[in-house]
Amino acid sequence: MAGSNTKLKNFETNYAKLEEMVQALEAPDLTLQESLDLFEKAIKLSQACESALEYARQRAQALADVQAEHTLSGTTEEGTLDL
């Protein structure tokens, strides 16, 4: 779980780097080798971002499920999340 929290913490930085790489790939003066190297790094960052987003989606769904369960059982006040 700690690794997943690290993914979330690094998401913003990784996303910003990914945007920079996409802009750099649009530069007309890159060699083919430079383009391929940059593209490979961008793919890895993209995968890291996608993994963090999937983890966040799963956490949000788990929290929504807990809320729905508590709402159905009537154990929480409206608008609260009792963890």
- Look up the pTM and report it: 0.71
DSSP 54-73: HHHHHHHHHHHHHHHHHHHH
Dihedral angle, C-alpha 37, 48, 5, 16, nearest 10 °: 70
pLDDT in tens, the chain (83 residues): 556 678 788 999 999 999 999 999 999 999 999 999 999 999 999 999 999 999 999 999 999 999 888 888 765 555 666 55
